[in-house]
Each structure stands twice: as C-alpha cells, then as structure tokens.
Amino acid sequence: MKKVLIVAYHFPPQAESSGYLRSLKFCRYLPEEGWQPRVLTVHPRAYERTDSSQLNEIPASVHVDRVFALDTRRHLAFRDHYPRALALPDRWVSWCFGAILSGYRTLRREKYDVILTTFPIASAVLIGWILHRLTGTPWVADFRDSMTEPDYPRDRSTWRVYRWLEQTTVRDASRLIFTASSAVRMYLERYPDLSPDRCSLILNGYDEEDFRNLLPAPLSLASPYASCTWVCYIQLNATRNPFSEPFLNCKEMERLMLRGFR
C-alpha cells in the first residue's frame, strides 16, 4: 500500500468549523484506494474550541502526529496586540518548526509516496512546501478554494505572503486540488503556464455513513410530521456561484423525498 503524509491544521478535535471533515474523510477513504495516510497536525491547544467526541471518528489505522502550536492572538498577545511577524502567514505559524522537524523525521525514516497539504490555513501549505524541498517527496496541494483574491487577504502584508506562497505552490506542487470548477478556471487564467492536467476537482460533499443511523423510518403523508423544511447554508465569494456549482446533491434530495421526506 502506498503512503501519504497529510499536513492539516483542521483535524479532530477541532470544533470551530467543518473544515476538519475534508482531511478526516481523506483518512477514512484513501485506504480503500490503496493509500495509507499519516496525519501531521497541531496540538489541540491551538484550537479555540474542541470536541473530544470527534476523536472516535479517526480510523484506528491512522497515525496522528501532533506538534507544539500556539494561536498568536490568544497566547502571545499583550493587551490584544502582537507583532505582525508572529502571525505570518497566519496566527498558527508557531507549529511550522515542530511540524517540519516531525515531518522530516517521518519522511526520512519511512518511504512516503506523497505529501498532501490542505488549505485554508496557509502555514500548512508552507510546511508541505518545505518538506517537499528538503526530501524531494512529491507534493499535492489541496487548495480547496482560491488562496488569494485581489482584495483577500485584506491585510497587504498577509496578501503578499499568501500570493508568494500561492505562486510557489503552483510552480512546485505535482498536482493542485480544488473544490470548485470556477476556482480551477481562475487559476488557469492567473497562471498561463499551469497545465490543466495538474489540476483536479474534488467537490465538497457528505458521507452518508454519518447520517445512516439518523434517518427516521419513512413517514406516512397523513402524519403531522410528514413535511420538513430544507435549509442550505453556504458561504459565497468571488469563486463560488450557487447557480453554477452543485452545492446540493439534488438526486440525493429526491431519493430522500421519495422515502417520505417533504
């Protein structure tokens, strides 16, 4: 079985966003495709909120390395102020040192076929690039969405660091992964030398196993509970168009409706 080292800030027990699900599901399903993952992530102290129940979702076969990490804003600020250099490319840059050492030892001790980094925490991308340069291990960068926009990040110092890191990734990564076809198009336009063959699209989705035991038995149309309201919450930006991207799996919704949901 091939081996992949996943460098991810978002990983259980992080409970601030759903971002951890992408890296967690990579760990869950990559073995079915012949890949054994190992995760390099931060110590939970770096997270503002945690949920220990998530730890049960990590497959037993996945080894997780957690390295020293601080949140500059919460741990190193004095009267809500801190040196800007301590938050570039992001507030969790402190984990770079331990992650590079840990990752380098892992890559030297065992043969890994790929390093996989996952955004939106830029320091994870930086770590993956440095490990790639130190060891020569092929690098796959999961951008998810675009790393920079003309007005994002808003802070110009951060924007310059992000844009440099983005350019470096486009140049050195073996493959780039996106969650939206519009983001792929934007990067191909932004970087004319980027080959479409190096860009892959892996949409955000859902894991039916997570909901299997939550679905009630089909309801009769006569039941007072036979109808419900579907609510879709999405975050929009310049690269995500709800009218062009399949945010909802309509076939799956249709299947549920036929089973009794309205």
Which carries the bigger pLDDT value, residue 224 or residue 49?
A: 49
Question: What is the distance between the alpha carbons of residues 193 and 170, in angstroms, rounded to a whole number?
Answer: 9
Lowest mean pLDDT among 44-53, 150-159, 226-235: 226-235
Helix (H) or strand (E) holding 41: strand 35-42
More confident residue, 204 or 140: 140
Is residue 41 within 8 A of residue 18, CB to CB? The reply is no
Q: How far apart are CA 201 and CA 16, in angstroms?
A: 25
Q: Assign 233 a pLDDT band (cuts: 50, 70, 90).
A: low
- Backbone dihedral angles phi then psi of residue 183, each to the nearest 5 degrees: -70, -40
**DSSP category for residue 121:** S
* Whole-number CA gyration radius for the chain: 20
pLDDT band at 213 (very low <50, low <70, confident <90, very high): confident
Please write the tens of the pLDDT for every residue from 165-184.
999 999 999 999 999 999 99
Report strand pairing: 2-7 vs 139-144: unpaired
* Residue 239 confidence class, pLDDT cut points 50, 70, 90: very low
Q: Which pLDDT band, with edges at 50, 70 and 90, does 150 fall under?
A: very high
Distance, in Å, from the CA atom of 172 to the CA atom of 261, rounded to the nearest integer, reads 48
DSSP string, 66-79: EE----HHHHS-BT
Res 221: pLDDT? 54
243: confidence class by pLDDT, cuts 50, 70, 90: very low
Per-residue confidence (pLDDT) for residue 67, from 0 to 100 = 98
pTM across the whole model: 0.83
**Predicted confidence band of residue 242 (pLDDT cuts 50, 70, 90):** very low
pLDDT attached to residue 18: 87
